[in-house]
C-alpha cells in the first residue's frame, strides 16, 4: 500500500468506533470535534510532509522487511544515518506544527520491541520476534499511527505492582484462554491516543518475579472492545470552542493526552510480544526510554517557533535593537541549539544491536533529555520577559471585533505605527499558547515528565557514565597508578 495522504489518514481515524469521554459527554465524532481536531491536524502533518519531495529523505525510509518506501515513523533504524534523520525529523515537525505531533512514542516502542522480542527468543526459544515482524509489516503496509502505552497510574509509588491494594493500578493479565489473554488496567498521559490506529502496551517499570502477571506487552487496534478513552484537560482548551481563532494562538495544531482504560480487553496470542518474562520488562523499558529521550528534538522545533515569535514581538514593540533584548534572544538560540546538539550526538554515537537494530548512545540520550527538562523553561521565561505584560492582559477577540470596544483596542494595543494592533495581538497569543496555553503541555510539562522523570535520567547517567574509568585516567596522570601506555 502506498503512503497515506493526510486526507486518507483522517478518514481512517473517522472509521474507528471507540468509547470516548470529554467534558462529561460521550464523543461520537472525534475527527470534527473542535477540541480534538487541532491534534489530529498535527498528526496529519506527518503524512503531509512525507508526500513532499523536499522532505522525503527525512520523512520516509526503506523497510528492511519488504524494501518498500514507508513513513519513517514506522521504520526500524538500520544505520546511524537513520538515527540522525529521526532527530532531524523531530525538529522539522516541531517547527511546522508548533506543538507535539504525537507519533514518536509509537516509533520508539516499535524499535525497542525489535530488540526485546529478539532477546527474549534467544533465551527462551519463544516466537515473539516472528510475531513482531509480522505485526510491524502490517503497520508499515497500512501506514498506521501507533500509540506507545507505557505509563501506568502506579497507585502507591512505594509499593511494587503485586502489593498494590488495587491490582489494576498496573495493567496486568487477569485470565488466559486458548486464543489469547484478558488484560485489565489503564495507561495514563497517553499522547495522541485518539489519533492512533494501534495501541502498543508495555510495562512501565522493571519487574520482579512476583510481578510476572504485569510483565506483558501487546498491541491491539485502538477501537478494540473494552478500551475506554477519557480525554485530558489542557490550559486554555475551551478557547478552541470560541468563534474567533485569534485567541487560540495556534488555531491549526495542538496535542492531546488521554487516560486509556482496559476493561477486560481480549488480546489474541499473535499480538502478544511478552508474557510473564519479567526479567525482560526492564530490558524493554530502558531501550524505549533511551529512544524516547532522543525524540525530544521535537522541542527544538517548537523552540524555533518560539524564538521566531519572540523576535517578532520585539520588533513589533520597537525594542529589537536594545542590547539586552538581543542578548536574551541569543541566549534562547544558544539553549535551543544545545538541545539539538544532544539529540544529534546520541544518534551519531549510536551502535548496532541485535537483530540489526541501531540503538542510540544511552548516556548521551539521557544527558540530552536532562537538558530538555530545563532549557525550554528558560527559553519560555525569556520569551515572556521580552513579550511583556500584555501577554496575559490582552482583551478577547470578541472585544477586538466589537464595533465599539474594538476601536479602543486597535488604538491602545498598537505599538509601532506600521504594525496593525491585530498582528501584535496574534503574535502575543502564539507566545502565550506555547508558554502557558495548550501547547505548553507539549513544550514544558512534557519536557519535564515525558520519557520519565528528571531523576530517572540522572539514574541512567550515573549508571552509564563509568566514573571508575575516569578515576583511572586521573590516577595515571597523577602517577598514583602505573601508566601502561
- Told to judge if 191 belongs to the known catalytic residues of this protein, a careful annotator would answer yes
pTM of the predicted model as reported, rounded to 2 decimal places: 0.96
Determine which one of 257, 310, 432, 438 is catalytic.
257
Residue in the block written with cell 532527530: 87
Q: Which stretches of the chain drop beneath a pLDDT of 50?
A: none
- Told to judge if 146 belongs to the known catalytic residues of this protein, a careful annotator would answer no
**Rounded to whole angstroms, how far apart are CA atoms 132 and 20?**
28
- Told to judge if 100 belongs to the known catalytic residues of this protein, a careful annotator would answer yes
pLDDT for residue 485: 58
156: left (phi over 0), alpha (psi -120 to 50) or beta: beta
Determine which one of 46, 60, 104, 128 is catalytic.
104
Determine which one of 46, 75, 77, 100 is catalytic.
100
β-strands 180-191, 257-268 pairing: antiparallel
Q: Specify the long-range contacts of residues 80-86, CB closer than 8 Å, at least 24 apart.
A: 80/347, 80/348, 80/350, 80/358, 82/358, 83/294, 83/346, 83/347, 83/348, 83/350, 83/358, 83/360, 84/344, 84/347, 84/348, 85/57, 85/58, 85/61, 86/294, 86/295, 86/297, 86/347
- Told to judge if 298 belongs to the known catalytic residues of this protein, a careful annotator would answer yes
C-alpha cell at 429: 497569543
Q: CA-CA distances (angstroms) from residue 140 to 146, 435, 459?
A: 11, 35, 35
pLDDT for residue 482: 85
Determine which one of 229, 296, 340, 443 is catalytic.
296
**Rounded to whole angstroms, how far apart are CA atoms 18 and 30?**
9
Is the domain spanning 293-475 CATH 1.10.357.10? The answer is: no
Determine which one of 99, 146, 298, 346 is catalytic.
298
pLDDT for residue 30: 97
- Told to judge if 124 belongs to the known catalytic residues of this protein, a careful annotator would answer no
- Told to judge if 316 belongs to the known catalytic residues of this protein, a careful annotator would answer no
- Told to judge if 292 belongs to the known catalytic residues of this protein, a careful annotator would answer yes
Determine which one of 74, 120, 191, 357 is catalytic.
191
- Told to judge if 118 belongs to the known catalytic residues of this protein, a careful annotator would answer no
pLDDT for residue 477: 93
pLDDT for residue 1: 67
pLDDT for residue 2: 81
Determine which one of 275, 292, 312, 357 is catalytic.
292
Amino acid at each position: 500500500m502506498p503512503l497515506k495522504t493526510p486526507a486518507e489518514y483522517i478518514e481512517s481515524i473517522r472509521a474507528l468506533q471507540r468509547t470516548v469521554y470529554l467534558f462529561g459527554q460521550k464523543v461520537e465524532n472525534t475527527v470534527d470535534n473542535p477540541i480534538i481536531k487541532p491534534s489530529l491536524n498535527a498528526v496529519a502533518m506527518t503524512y503531509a510532509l512525507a508526500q513532499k519531495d523536499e522532505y522525503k529523505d527525512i520523512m520516509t525510509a526503506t523497510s528492511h522487511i519488504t524494501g518498500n518506501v514507508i513513513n519513517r515513523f514506522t521504520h526500524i533504524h538500520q544505520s546511524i544515518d537513520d538515527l540522525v534523520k529521526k532527530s532531524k525529523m523531530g525538529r522539522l515537525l516541531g517547527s511546522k506544527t508548533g506543538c507535539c505531533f504525537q507519533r514518536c512514542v509509537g516509533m520508539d516502542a516499535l524499535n525497542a520491541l525489535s530488540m526485546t522480542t529478539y532477546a527474549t527468543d534467544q533465551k527462551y526459544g519463544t516466537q515473539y520476534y516472528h510475531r513482531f515482524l509480522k505485526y510491524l509489516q502490517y503497520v508499515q503496509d497500512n501506514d498506521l499511527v501507533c500509540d506507545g502505552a507505557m505509563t501506568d497510574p502506579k497507585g502507591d509509588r512505594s509499593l511494587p505492582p503485586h502489593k498494590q491494594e488495587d491490582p489494576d493500578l498496573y495493567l496486568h493479565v487477569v485470565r488466559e484462554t486458548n486464543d489469547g489473554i484478558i488484560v485489565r488496567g489503564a495507561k495514563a498521559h497517553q499522547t495522541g491516543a485518539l489519533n492512533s490506529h494501534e495501541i502498543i502496551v508495555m510495562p512501565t517499570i522493571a519487574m520482579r518475579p512476583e510481578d510476572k502477571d504485569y510483565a506483558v506487552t501487546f498491541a491491539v487496534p485502538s477501537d478494540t472492545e473494552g478500551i475506554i478513552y477519557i480525554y485530558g484537560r489542557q490550559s486554555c482548551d475551551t478557547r478552541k470552542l470560541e468563534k474567533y481563532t485569534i485567541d487560540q494562538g495556534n488555531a491549526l495544531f495542538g496535542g492531546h493526552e488521554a487516560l486509556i482504560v482496559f476493561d477486560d480487553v481480549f488480546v489474541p496470542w499473535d499480538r502478544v510480544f511478552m508474557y510473564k518474562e519479567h526479567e525482560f520488562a526492564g530490558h524493554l523499558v530502558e531501550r524505549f526510554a533511551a529512544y524516547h529521550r532522543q525524540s525530544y528534538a521535537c522541542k527544538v522545533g517548537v523552540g524555533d517557533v518560539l524564538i521566531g515569535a519572540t523576535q517578532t514581538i520585539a520588533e513589533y514593540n520597537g525594542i529589537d535593537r536594545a542590547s539586552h533584548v538581543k542578548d536574551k534572544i541569543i541566549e534562547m538560540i544558544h539553549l535551543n541549539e544545545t538541545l539539538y546538539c544532544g539529540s544529534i550526538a546520541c544518534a551519531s554515537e549510536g551502535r548496532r544491536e541485535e537483530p540489526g537494530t541501531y540503538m542510540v548512545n544511552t548516556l548521551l540520550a539521557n544527558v540530552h533529555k536532562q537538558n530538555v527538562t530545563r532549557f525550554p523553561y528558560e527559553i519560555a521565561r525569556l520569551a515572556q520577559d521580552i513579550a511583556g505584560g500584555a501577554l496575559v492582559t490582552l482583551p478577547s477577540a470578541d472585544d477586538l471585533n466589537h464595533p465599539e470596544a474594538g476601536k479602543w483596542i486597535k488604538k491602545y494595543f498598537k505599538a509601532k505605527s506600521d504594525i496593525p494592533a491585530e498582528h501584535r495581538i496574534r503574535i502575543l497569543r502564539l507566545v502565550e499558547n506555547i508558554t502557558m496555553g495548550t501547547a505548553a503541555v507539549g513544550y514544558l510539562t512534557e519536557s519535564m515528565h515525558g520519557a520519565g522523570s528528571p531523576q530517572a535520567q540522572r539514574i541512567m547517567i550515573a549508571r552509564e557514565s563509568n566514573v571508575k574509568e575516569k578515576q583511572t585516567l586521573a590516577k595515571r596522570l597523577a602517577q598514583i597508578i602505573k601508566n601502561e601506555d
